[in-house]
Structure 1
Amino acid sequence: MLVDFNTLSEEAKVWIYPSNRKFYPQEIEGLKEKLKAFVEVWKQDDDDFKASVELRYNRFIIFSGEGNSALLNADIDKLVGFVLQLQEVYEVELLDRMNVCFKQGEYTQYKELKDFKKLIKNKAVTEKTIVFDNLVETKLELENHWEVPISESWYSRFLKKSKTNS
Structure 2
Amino acid sequence: MFVPFDQLPAHARIWIYQANRPLTSEELAAVAPALMQFAEEWTSHGRSLAASAAFLHHQFLVIGLDEAVADASGCSIDASVRFVRALEQALNVTLLEKSQLAFLVDGKVQLLDRRQLKAAVAEGRLRPETPYFDNTVVQHQQLGAEWPAPAASTWLARYFAGV
Normalization by structure 2: what TM-score? 0.90
**AA paired with 1:38?**
F
1:76 aligns to 2:77 (yes or no): yes
Deviation at 1:19, TM superposition (A): 0.5
Contact 2:10–2:141, Cα closer than 8 Å, also in 1: yes
In structure 2, distance between residues paired with 1:55 and 1:13: 16
Which SS does the other structure have where 2:127 is aligned? coil
Aligned to 1:27: 27
Aligned to 1:108: 109
Aligned residues: CA RMSD: 1.7
Q: Deviations over 1:64-94 (max 9, x none)?
A: 0114332100000000011111112222111
1:10 aligns to 2:10 (yes or no): yes
Deviation at 1:126, TM superposition (A): 0.7
The gaps in structure 2 that reach 5 residues or longer are none
**AA paired with 1:129?**
T
Aligned to 2:151: 150
In structure 2, distance between residues paired with 1:88 and 1:117: 32
Displacement over 6 Å in runs of 4+: none
Contact 2:35–2:52, Cα closer than 8 Å, also in 1: no
Q: Deviations over 1:27-48 (max 9, x none)?
A: 111121221111111128424x
Percent sequence identity is: 25
In structure 2, distance between residues paired with 1:23 and 1:7: 23
Q: Deviations over 1:11-40 (max 9, x none)?
A: 110011111100123211112122111111
Contact 2:15–2:64, Cα closer than 8 Å, also in 1: yes
Aligned to 1:137: 138
**AA paired with 2:92?**
E
Aligned positions, number: 161
The gaps in structure 1 that reach 5 residues or longer are none
Deviation at 1:140, TM superposition (A): 2.0
Q: Report matched runs for 1:28-107 at 5 Å.
A: 28-43=28-43, 45-47=46-48, 49-66=49-66, 67-107=68-108
